[in-house]
Amino acid sequence: MAEASRISKFLYTFIVLFIIWLFLTASVDPQELTIGLVFSFIVALLTHDIFTTRGLANLHPRRVAYFIAYIPYFLWAMLMANLDVAYRVLHPKRPINPGIVECKTELKNEVGKLALANSITLTPGTITLDVDGDRYFIHWIDVKDASVEGASENITRPFEKFLKVIFE
Q: 121: Cβ–Cβ under 8 A, 6 or more apart, which residues?
A: 127, 128
The stretch near another protein (CB under 8 A) out of 33-41, 49-57, 88-96, 157-165 is 88-96
Does residue 98 interact with another protein by CB under 8 A? yes
Nearer to another protein, 5 or 118 (CB): 118
Per CB under 8 A, the list member of 6, 99, 110, 158 interacting with another protein is 99
What gap in Å lies between CA 159 and CA 66, rounded to an integer? 11
Per CB under 8 A, the list member of 110, 130, 149, 168 interacting with another protein is 130
Q: What is the DSSP letter of 106?
A: -
CB 156 within 8 Å of CB 138: no
How many other CB atoms are there within 10 angstroms of residue 146's CB atom? 12
Interface map 140-159 toward another protein (x if CB under 8 A): -x-x--x-x-----------
What gap in Å lies between CA 5 and CA 136, rounded to an integer? 31
Does residue 64 interact with another protein by CB under 8 A? no
Helix (H, G, I), strand (E, B) or coil at 28: coil
Q: What is the DSSP letter of 56?
A: G
**Nearest approach, Cβ of 114 to another protein (angstroms)?**
8
Does residue 29 interact with another protein by CB under 8 A? no
Helix (H, G, I), strand (E, B) or coil at 3: coil
Does residue 137 interact with another protein by CB under 8 A? yes
**Nearest approach, Cβ of 35 to another protein (angstroms)?**
16
- 97 pairs with which residues across the strands? 142
Q: Using CB under 8 A as the criterion, which residues of the chain lie in contact with another protein when the complex forms?
A: 20, 22-27, 78-79, 81-82, 85-86, 88-90, 94, 96-102, 117-118, 121-122, 125, 127-130, 132, 135, 137, 139, 141, 143, 146, 148
